[in-house]
Structure 1
Amino acid sequence: MNGEPDTMLAPVLRNLRAAVFDTDGVITDSARAHAAAWKTASDAYLAEHPPPAPGQRRPFDVRDDYRLHVDGRSRLDGAAAFLASRGLHPPPETVRTVAEAKERLFAARLRERGMDAYPGTVRLVRALRRAGVRCAAVSASRHARELLARAAVLDLFDVLVDGVEAARLGLPGKPRPDLFLEAARRLGAPAGRTAVVEDAVAGVEAGRDGGFALVVGVARDPGPDAGQRLLRHGADIVVRDLAELLV
C-alpha cells in the first residue's frame, strides 16, 4: 500500500486516463441470472414454435447461446439473434414479446435476491481510482443502476451509461462502440487513453472497433476456449479475474 498510487496496477494499465467496465459478468455476478432468464423465455417460445430444421430444435444453452447471441447486446437484438440462430425470423412484435418475457424474469430475480459484485473487480476499480484513473460502468440493461446499487458499488463509478441512457440518446448496442465512446466522453478522456473491460464477444469487438487503448477480456468460464475466443475477437489481454491486474 506504500508508494505512488499506481504501484498496485499492472504496467499495462498505467498511463491510462479512464477505464470503462461492462456490468454483467465483469462488475457483478449477474450474467448467470441473465442467462437463466433468457433460457426460460426462449425455451417457452421454442416449445410453441419449433424451428423448421430438426438440427435447430435444441433448447437455449446457458453457456454457448448466451455468449454467442445475447451477451452484451440489447434485449431486442439478443432475442432476434438467438431466434435467427434457430432459423426463426418472426416479426418485430414477436421478438419484443420474447425480450419482454426475459426482462420480467430477470427483474423478479433481481428483486428477490439482488446480485453480488466480484471482489477482484472492486479491488481493481479502487486501485484505478487511487491512481487518478476515472471509471465508468456500461450496460445494455435498463436494470444496471439498480443492479450496481444493490451490489453496493454504484458509488465506485464516476459515470454510468445504461440501457435507459442508450435509449434516450438513440445509441446502438454492441458490437457497435457507441456506448463505450459515450462513457469515455463523459469521463473526459479520449478512447486512445481509455481501457475497455469486457467479458462478451460483442463487447471486445466494440472496444476494438472504438479505437480504445486497451481491451481487457474477462473469461470467467472455465472452458479452455473462452479466453481464445475473446482474443480472436479483439481483446488485447485476457484474465480470469481482474485481481490479476494488480501487482
Structure 2
Amino acid sequence: AVIFDLDGVITRTALVHSTAWKEMFDTYLRFREDRYGEPFMEFSHIEDYLPYVDGKPRYKGVASFLESRKIDIPFGDPSDVVEAETACGLGNRKNVVFNEILDRDGVKIYESTVDLIHELKKEGIRIGVASSSKNCKAVLEAAGLLDLFETRVDGVVSAEMGLQGKPEPDIFTMACDNLGVDYDRSVIVEDAVSG
C-alpha cells in the first residue's frame, strides 16, 4: 500500500495553511502587544510554521508555537468560540481563515502525485490518505479527488478514534489497518518534519 499525506503532497494547500496560520497568529500577537505590552514578532514560515505547526493536529500546533514564544494560555476545549483566548479558540480562528482562503482561491493539486496514484492503482496497489487536517475530506472533495482513496484517516477520524497526532504514527498505521496491509509492506509519502 501507499499512504499519502494531503497538504503539500497531493494538494497545494500547505501554503494556504501557512498563510492562514500567519494571519491568525500575527493578529493574536498584535493583540498581545496592545493588551500586554509584549513586543510584536511576526509569525515566520521558516522559523515558526515548519518546526512548530506544520503537519501537527491544529490545537497541538497552536500549543507548540505558543510554547516556543513562552506564551501561556489555557488549552481550552475544541468547542471554544473563535474569540476565546485559548489554544483551541486560536485553532478554530485559524480554521475559519483557512476556509475563507480555500473558498476564495480554490484547491490546486500536484498533478504528478495524482498521476502517480492513478499508475499505482492500475498496478493493483492499495491507496490511502492520512492527514492531521480536519479539512481533509472537504479539500479532497473540492479538488475532485475523494474517490481516489480506499481509506481516509484524517483529523476528524483521529478525534473520533482517540488517535495520537504526528509525529506519532497512529494515522498511518490506522490507514494500513483499514487497507488490511502489513506496515512493512507499505510506503508513506509525507512532506512535514513531524510526519
Name which of 127, 130, 136 aligns with 1:144: 136
How far does the alpha carbon of each residue in 1:79-120 deviate from its partner, in whole angstroms, 9 at most, with x for none?
001111111121113111111110100011222332111011
Name which of 82, 97, 104 aligns with 1:105: 97
Partner residue, 1:44: 27
RMSD (Å), alpha carbons: 1.6
Partner residue, 2:47: 64
Name which of 43, 66, 75 aligns with 1:83: 66
SS in 1 for 2:45: coil
Maintained 8 Å contact 1:76/1:99? yes
Partner residue, 2:82: none
Maintained 8 Å contact 2:32/2:38? no
CA separation of 1:52/1:172 partners in 2, compared to 1, >3 Å: closer, same or farther? farther
> Which amino acid in structure 2 is aligned with residue 132 of structure 1?
G
**Superposition map of 1:113-152 within 5 A:** 113-152=105-144
Q: Percent of counterpart pairs with the same letter? A: 40
Partner residue, 1:74: 57
TM-score by length of 1: 0.71
The structure 1 segments of at least 4 consecutive aligned residues displaced by more than 6 Å after TM superposition are 51-54
The more displaced of 109-118 and 157-166 is 109-118
Q: CA deviation at 1:53?
A: 8.2
> Which amino acid in structure 1 is aligned with residue 28 of structure 2?
Y
The more displaced of 128-137 and 110-119 is 110-119
Partner residue, 1:25: 8
> Which amino acid in structure 2 is aligned with residue 131 of structure 1?
E
Q: CA deviation at 1:67?
A: 1.2
The 1-side partners of 2:191 and 2:37 are apart by: 32
Q: CA deviation at 1:52?
A: 9.0
For structure 2, the residue ranges without an aligned partner over 5 or more in a row are 77-85
The higher relative CO (CA closer than 8 Å, separation ≥ 6) is in: 2
- Pairing 1:189–2:181 present: yes
Maintained 8 Å contact 1:117/1:153? no
SS in 1 for 2:108: coil
CA separation of 1:125/1:52 partners in 2, compared to 1, >3 Å: closer, same or farther? farther
Partner residue, 1:234: none
Name which of 17, 20, 25 aligns with 1:34: 17
For structure 1, the residue ranges without an aligned partner over 5 or more in a row are 1-17, 204-247
**Superposition map of 1:214-225 within 5 A:** none
The 2-side partners of 1:185 and 1:199 are apart by: 22
> Which amino acid in structure 2 is aligned with residue 201 of structure 1?
V
